[in-house]
Structure 1
Amino acid sequence: MFGDKNKSSRSVTNMVETLVGPRVVIRGDVHFSGGLYVEGRIIGKVIAEEGAPAVLTIAQKGVVEGEVHAPVVVVGGQLTGDVHASERVELGSQARVLGNIHYRIVEMAAGSTFTGRLIHAEAPVAQLVPAEPAFARAS
């Protein structure tokens, strides 16, 4: 977006190997590598092959209803479910996301909407500290 992406990331982002057309509905989990471009609807998990370069792009009229696991996730349409992106998440101006986003880098365009939690990949896991009982303080 700002021109500082490395060359290998840019080449994977522009590569589309699989297209889910605008009149296609897939019910079930989708496993992929490379580029997956969704103009239709996927109802199920979308999971990139572990360790392989992969980009999931959801077009402005595309819909994914399910959990997403991919290094790079670009949302232009609607996504309902948690996103786990090991590299980055990009939300376009028409993006509508309902779910938590686990990310390393996130870009959000003006006009995008997001309902959920942003969870940075390197953030420490919060530990609950039990409260001291009130009777223990009264001594």
Structure 2
Amino acid sequence: MFSSKKKQPPIRTLIGEGTVIQGEVRFTEGLRIDGEVHGDVFATGEGHSILVISEKARVHGKVKAAHVIINGSVAGPVVSDGLLELQPKASIVGDVRYEVLEMHQGATIEGDMRPLKAEEKPALKLAASNGG
């Protein structure tokens, strides 16, 4: 899946510890959050993106990016179009959708977890229901 290691985009934006942002945050390439965001956080544009939510960070809103690394807390749904990494101190209260998941011991999720591909799968058919 990730065997053709793509180079990570640079993290050009930092929301520092002690900073509180009210409102939606949109970014390209990379964003690291060490502070607090009250609003949705979205990667925009085409291409690979990375979002790091550090151990001290708090996000109250939707989160969406290709590669998402969480070690802080998120109160809202999380969508990762690529790799979702949940570090030991990650805490999510909300539904989680991912392409690939890496979850460390200690991470917690209160919500529904489903791979993105599961939403595209057709309904299951039982083999016994064949016309025979």
Q: TM-score, normalised by structure 2?
A: 0.84
* One-letter identity of the residue aligned with 1:7: K
**1:118 corresponds to which residue?**
113
C-alpha change, 1:51 and 1:42, in structure 2 (3 Å) is same
Where in structure 2 are the equivalents of 1:14-33 lying within 5 Å? 15-33=10-28
Query: Number of residue pairs matched?
Result: 121
Correspondent of 1:108 among 94, 103, 120: 103
**1:37 corresponds to which residue?**
32
Contiguous gaps of at least 5 residues in structure 1: 128-139
Q: Secondary structure in 1 aligned to 2:11?
A: coil
Deviation at 1:8, TM superposition (A): 1.7
**2:5 corresponds to which residue?**
7
Correspondent of 1:71 among 53, 66, 70: 66
Q: Secondary structure in 2 aligned to 1:51?
A: coil
Once residues 56 and 78 of structure 1 are traced to their aligned partners in structure 2, the CA distance between those partners, rounded to angstroms, is: 13
Correspondent of 2:41 among 43, 46, 52: 46
Please tell me whether Structure 1 or Structure 2 has the larger radius of gyration of its CA atoms: 1
**1:134 corresponds to which residue?**
none
* One-letter identity of the residue aligned with 2:56: K
* One-letter identity of the residue aligned with 2:6: S
Query: Percent identical across equivalent pairs?
Result: 31
Contiguous gaps of at least 5 residues in structure 2: 124-132
Deviation at 1:125, TM superposition (A): 6.4
Deviation at 1:107, TM superposition (A): 0.8
